[in-house]
Structure 1
Amino acid sequence: MSEKVELGTIKTDVPARLDRLPWARFHWMVVVGLGSVWILDGLEVTMVGNVAARMTEEGSGIDMTAGQIGTAGALYVLGACVGAIVFGQLTDRFGRRKLFLITLVLYLVATVATAFSFSAWYFFLVRFLTGAGIGGEYAAVNSAIDELIPARVRGRIDLIINGSYWLGAAGGAATTLLFLNTDILPKMIGWRLAFAVGMLLAIFVFVVRKNVPESPRWLFIHGRNDEAERIVGEIEDGIEAETSQTLPAPKKTITVRQRKTISFVEIMKVAFTIYPKRAILCLVLFVGQAFLYNGITFNLGTIFSGFYGVAAASVPIFIILWSLSNFAGPVVLGRLFDTIGRKPMISFSYLGSAVVAVVLAFVFNGEVGGEWLFLLILVVCFFLASSGASAAYLTVSEIFPMETRALAIAFFYAVGTAAGGIAGPLLFGGMIESGDRSQVAWAFCIGAAVMALGGVAELLFGVKAEGADLEDIARPLTAEDAEGAESAAESGSERTEHSDRAGSAAAAESSAGPEAGSRRERLRPGPGSAGVYAPWPSVSSRDVPPEVSANEVNGIIDFVRDMEPVGEVELYRAIGARRWGPGRFRAAVREAVRQGAVHRNRRGRLEYRGDRS
């Protein structure tokens, strides 16, 4: 990171103060003001599915084909991907609040323009811009929600908020029952007014959202710690007045080095070098849910009307029932993500929906039971899938450092959704247009396969984040920098203490106290010397293979002793091993295990043993 953007180093208890808050009116304001973006997205995405059949009829004023409806869906998703990347960078640079107001205005303008569509190319353009506004919302809003909601309920609240997408879907479908009724409105007017509903909801959201403050976590990272303190103080005062109780004192602090900007390159390095398994997990989760959801959502109306003969005016009834089942999934299962845990519940949601999707394909291809049996199986499939899809957003917003959160959401949403969310509507749209049931059944099976991959990835790489502080799941990058600077000031006396390894180590550790590990200077690679930290008791350089040094092995042993039990990723970051060079950290861990000083427990975490062979 560039030194010229450094502002200063501070110790703050803001994260702990936010996480200890009881649920209050402030949190409801956050849920309504920010979470409503998913209602808007659900309204917009399913609106096309609701009115698709009408837009393909003669006299609609636009005369689009089923294939063009699928293309419009793909362009909406492409716009969301572009908007997420562009606005995601701006969100981490200029703040959550400023950007979630700007993106809402973009959405508002674009959705009004959609109601005036007169040809396919114009419809494609305004759908792209509408998607860009929604994509930008994802980055700004998801990061702000997780930074303002207490850790103990973050999982269920995040899932329910993401699941509220389906309230928008159901509401959109309900309104089209009126707008598509040709006894009330002409064909070429009704579907246009349906899109205007989004404008009315966006105006309401804008009014509520103006009262949501900037994220205090973002503020203190970017040098505005006085403002962060003021906002948290106002929130605390309001909650104490509301509950008539005094809040307990916060129990934790964190030291951070303030920055104005963190480069995109640095953020990508964090994702793919420090957290490669987490990066793979997020990509697979997003690809799976985006393919299945966008493929079916954009084309569900044409499936019911084209293959089951459901009248265009009746299609919204099926969409409403399906949408409500999607919302019920996160509401019913959401609390289990905080109790049973993220890993078992996410994998269950993905794998379970994949199995049901295969059953759905066979029922559809065999023309068994008609449209109501098809709807019933679809409801079961997406009751499970909706929890998994919501958890994909929860996962990426939790497991990367705070400075990268908005852009990480944007990046993984954009890449995963571009791969799955664009391919899905195009594949389903083309296969539906063919009129061949077997081709559509294959599309369902492909969707099941990519969802199953998401479930497998969660089993392999999932992170136990339930109830944990965001800063513990992924320590802020600036916190690492600050601790390195803080420990450097103490390094001279610490080296002196460790130079007499046989007799003074115990006294040094005692005087350092329980937080010695957090203050210790990052271990540098190479053989131990008077100028480089080497813990006691030491391993001779003759005892280790040539690809690692005794100093590195001693560092592993000493840090594991202080931190046990500890995962390899936590240890890698705590010890500063990213400076060591390729492969040296893992080689040093293997050597420490081989010598018997460290061993892995049944959960794969490292523990200190002390007796070396």
Structure 2
Amino acid sequence: MSTSAQTGTITTRVPARLDRLPWSRFHWRVVLGLGGVWVLDGLEVTMVGNVSARLTEKGSGIELDPAQIGVAAAIYITGACVGALFFGHLTDRFGRRNLFMLTLAVYLVATVATAFAFAPWYFFVARFFTGAGIGGEYAAINSAIDELIPARVRGRVDLIINGTYWLGSAAGAAGALVLLNTSNFPANVGWRFAFGIGAILGIFVLLVRRNVPESPRWLFIHGRDEEAERIVREIEDDVESSTGQPLPEPQGEPLKIRQRQSISLLEIAKVAFVLYPRRAVLGLALFIGQAFLYNGVTFNLGTLLSGFYAVPSGKVPLFFILWALSNFAGPLLLGKLFDTVGRKPMITATYIGSAVAVVALAVVFGTNTGGPWTFIAVLAVAFFVASAGASAAYLTVSEIFPMETRALAIAFFYAVGTAIGGISGPLLFGQLISSGQRDLVVWSFVIGAIVMAIAGLVELWLGVAAEQRPLEELALPLTVADAEEPGEPGGGATS
């Protein structure tokens, strides 16, 4: 299939050995060390929403207007898209572990720089590089998680990990509730400390992450099968030690793999759009739908509450906490159904169901029914459903493409889908909120509902039944196809 640098042909049972493992303390290390990125992302994205009202006030030390808050959000998302593509390619080429350490370092430096913002342009630059670090994390982290978590629980674990984004949101909002209180900190200081929270959490994640190994699946494809064997054996020993039970024999036939040190970007693009065009359409639809609605609301909720419900800037984080917790509850309570009822029916139901709830939200907002607490209550219901579907978008693209392209596939669909939905959403919401006209803002909710509903229909049409199936069954690795070409040597090492 390819003339990319090849090393040899091996037969491996590494995927089956990893998939048959019972849940253990090793998997908890993976969840804590790698899933922490979602906490950081939730903290960063909603931090701007939490402090946005303060940043528009005189005496804040920066004094942005509502439209610039939307611009800052769009710039952050642009950085995330660029970072996802750039670091995503490096992740597939140089390994999951190398990149999830590098991207976290980029994030830490940039988020500290944000705390020292003194002018809009500086704030925008710092937000771009913060987004780049987080975007790079998406590709490295999601690919590593899916390659280390057993197939039978991959769906619920992935959704819950992605859902921890909202724990970060709640933590950031709770911190902002204290830091934005002018009786505790001056108006031009508290919001700076708020961004410092992200750096503190990032250091904790970095410490835990040091104990997470490289993906054995990535290693054996890139000619490092002895290292892959060693890591899997160490994982197996650790699991047996923690559970006190012998491991069952791995199921299924071994994979015959032709190892390659690198795979070209052109070949990766062909895989997505020539070999799996229907899956490419599916990935784009899911990402565009959730990115438009989520980023539009998240980045502008603070200014919306202050401008239309007269909620003081210091009280805005309280509403964020309630909203964030409802978003985390969605994947937590619904996640298991994605492994039992199935991916296709659950993703369809969550996308279309959230669209219906957002229409109800538009009615509540447009008629000014019940004040801010009623608005937040309906918003919480809508996003309880939407959050499970949004998390499933990342799960979908991380498991339906071949292993050699996994990180860049995540990066590509995140970048393109988010560039279309995640940039246009905040800009549209920001501009309509700046108009001060309630009836115009209603249209932003209606458009968000329409985009989500369309994505749900695309899932109904093109969705893949990936529940409890090995990754290699969903999409055969490209190196397997190479190894099975006629006339090629077989045999080799077994790992």
TM-score range, shorter chain: over 0.9
Cα distance in 1 between the residues matched to 2:302 and 2:484? 56
Q: Counterpart of 2:293?
A: 292
1:281 and 2:282 aligned? yes
Q: Counterpart of 1:508?
A: none
Q: Counterpart of 2:482?
A: 481
Q: Counterpart of 1:472?
A: 473
Q: Counterpart of 2:363?
A: 362
Q: Counterpart of 1:413?
A: 414
Cα distance in 1 between the residues matched to 2:404 and 2:488? 22
CA-to-aligned-CA distance 1:489-526 (integer Å, 9 cap, x gap): 89xxxxxxxxxxxxxxxxxxxxxxxxxxxxxxxxxxxx
Cα distance in 2 between the residues matched to 1:256 and 1:487? 11
Q: Counterpart of 1:562?
A: none
Q: Counterpart of 2:327?
A: 326
Cα distance in 2 between the residues matched to 1:213 and 1:453? 39
Deviation at 1:483, TM superposition (A): 1.3
RMSD of Structure 2 on Structure 1 (CA): 1.1
Deviation at 1:436, TM superposition (A): 0.6
Q: Counterpart of 1:220?
A: 220
The one-letter code matched in structure 1 to 2:341 is: I
1:24 and 2:20 aligned? no
Taking a change above 3 Å as real, the CA distance of residues 333 and 486 of structure 1, as seen in their structure-2 partners, is farther
**Aligned with 2:369: secondary structure?**
coil
Deviation at 1:486, TM superposition (A): 6.3
Cα distance in 2 between the residues matched to 1:226 and 1:5? 19
The one-letter code matched in structure 2 to 1:462 is: G
Taking a change above 3 Å as real, the CA distance of residues 473 and 236 of structure 1, as seen in their structure-2 partners, is same
The one-letter code matched in structure 1 to 2:427 is: L
The one-letter code matched in structure 2 to 1:83 is: G
**Aligned with 1:187: secondary structure?**
coil
Q: Give the conservation status (yes or no) of the 8 Å contact 2:10–2:490.
A: no
Deviation at 1:249, TM superposition (A): 1.8
Q: Counterpart of 1:262?
A: 263
The one-letter code matched in structure 2 to 1:138 is: Y
**Aligned with 2:223: secondary structure?**
coil
Q: Counterpart of 1:435?
A: 436
Cα distance in 1 between the residues matched to 2:346 and 2:465? 11
Q: Give the conservation status (yes or no) of the 8 Å contact 2:9–2:489.
A: no
Q: Counterpart of 1:169?
A: 169
CA-to-aligned-CA distance 1:280-300 (integer Å, 9 cap, x gap): 000000000000000000000
Q: Counterpart of 1:581?
A: none
Q: Counterpart of 1:456?
A: 457
**Aligned with 1:258: secondary structure?**
strand
Cα distance in 2 between the residues matched to 1:319 and 1:486? 61
Cα distance in 2 between the residues matched to 1:207 and 1:185? 30
Q: How many residues align?
A: 490
**Aligned with 2:258: secondary structure?**
strand
Q: Counterpart of 1:242?
A: 242
Q: Counterpart of 1:394?
A: 395
1:202 and 2:209 aligned? no
Q: Counterpart of 1:511?
A: none
Q: Counterpart of 2:84?
A: 84
The one-letter code matched in structure 1 to 2:6 is: E
TM, length-normalised to structure 1: 0.79
TM, length-normalised to structure 2: 0.98
**Aligned with 2:484: secondary structure?**
helix
The one-letter code matched in structure 1 to 2:126 is: V
Cα distance in 1 between the residues matched to 2:487 and 2:169? 52
Q: Counterpart of 1:156?
A: 156
Q: Counterpart of 2:404?
A: 403
**Aligned with 1:198: secondary structure?**
helix
The one-letter code matched in structure 2 to 1:226 is: E
Cα distance in 1 between the residues matched to 2:256 and 2:479? 8
**Aligned with 2:485: secondary structure?**
helix
Q: Tell me, which stretches of 5 or more residues in structure 1 are unaligned?
A: 491-613
Cα distance in 2 between the residues matched to 1:73 and 1:137? 18
Cα distance in 1 between the residues matched to 2:400 and 2:486? 25
Q: Give the conservation status (yes or no) of the 8 Å contact 2:39–2:164.
A: yes
1:306 and 2:307 aligned? yes
The one-letter code matched in structure 2 to 1:61 is: G
1:146 and 2:146 aligned? yes
CA-to-aligned-CA distance 1:109-132 (integer Å, 9 cap, x gap): 000000000000000000000000
Cα distance in 2 between the residues matched to 1:347 and 1:244? 41
Q: Counterpart of 2:424?
A: 423
**Aligned with 1:211: secondary structure?**
coil
Deviation at 1:79, TM superposition (A): 0.2
Cα distance in 1 between the residues matched to 2:162 and 2:303? 26
**Aligned with 1:250: secondary structure?**
coil
Q: Give the conservation status (yes or no) of the 8 Å contact 2:50–2:316.
A: yes
Identity over aligned residues, as a percent? Answer: 67
**Aligned with 2:312: secondary structure?**
coil
**Aligned with 2:257: secondary structure?**
strand
Cα distance in 2 between the residues matched to 1:146 and 1:439? 42
Deviation at 1:241, TM superposition (A): 1.3
Relative contact order (alpha carbons < 8 A, sep ≥ 6): 1 or 2 greater?
2
Q: Give the conservation status (yes or no) of the 8 Å contact 2:285–2:458.
A: yes
The one-letter code matched in structure 1 to 2:172 is: G
Cα distance in 1 between the residues matched to 2:185 and 2:248? 59
